Amino acid sequence: MTKSELIERLIDQNEQLSIKDVELAVKTMLDHMTESLSQGDRIEIRGFGSFSLHFREPRVGRNPKTGDSVSLDAKYVPHFKPGKELREQVNDSLKNERS
Amino acid sequence: MGSLTKADMAERLYEDLGLNKREAKEMVEAFFDEIRMSLAENEQVKLSGFGNFDLRDKRERPGRNPKTGEEVPISARRVVTFRPGQKLKERVEAYEGD
């Protein structure tokens, strides 16, 4: 499912809202989530999961083309931990395929 | 450090977009429900700019009960992984820590 397919599914469920409203709502929600993480805040969505930042130590990497070493600064990367409900539903889809 | 919740997201939809409070709350619920249902049907979710939710099938592997030390196999399972998109990665890298 892509972002535009997600928007279509939400439009089908919300007939009282205009297409524009739904498009803008999805953009607003994703921007809000990006903004929170980029300020170092966590996101906690019950049943779905949580997003947080993981710290990466500075390290010496290599340019894969030239082989030259490059020093890479410490940084934060986004991390997602699925919630219990999502984990179980996803795992059940595997079990159901096999039964 | 704060934590963003569905209530905060609904509040913004109410303030910025003028959805009424019920519509805003339902929109946030439906947004995460649709993503969850798609993943529960083994369908990858790609939200450009934000990131992709992928599914991976793991084979059974040997494990141990950490309390008793007893060997217990970890059964085959399907898991969700998240790969942040370019825009999200860049925005987060700019965070200096606190």
From B97's Cα to the closest Cα of chain A, the distance in A is: 7
State the best of A21, A45, A77 to mutate against chain B, taking most chain B CBs within 10 Å.
Answer: A45
Nearest to A48 among B36, B94, B97 (CB): B36
Phi, psi of B62 (to 5 degrees): -70, 140
Q: Which domain holds residue A89?
A: 43-98
On whether residue B59 sits in a domain, the answer given is: yes
Same domain, A54 and A92: yes
pTM, two decimal places: 0.90
> How far, in Å, CA of B19 to CA of B25, rounded?
9
Token pair belonging to B12:
């913004």
The domain that contains A73 carries what CATH number?
A: 4.10.520.10
φ, ψ (nearest 5 deg) of residue A25: -65, -45
* Residue B97 belongs to a domain: no
End-to-end CA distance of chain B: give it in Å, rounded: 9
Q: A9 pLDDT exceeds 90?
A: yes
Rounded CA separation B49/B92 (Å): 12
Centroid of chain to Cα A15: 27
Q: Tell me: the pLDDT tens digits for A61-82? A: 898 899 899 998 889 999 999 9
How many structural domains compose chain A?
2
Supply the ipTM of this predicted assembly: 0.90
Burial B55-94 (b: 16+ CB within 10 A, else e): beeeeeeeeeeeeeeeeeeeeebbebebebbebbbebbbe
**Share in percent of chain B as helix, strand, coil (round to 5):** 40, 30, 30
pLDDT in tens, A18-50: 999 999 999 999 999 999 999 999 999 999 999
Q: Is the pLDDT of residue B98 over 80?
A: no
In a domain, B78, yes or no: yes
Answer whether residue B22 is part of any domain: yes
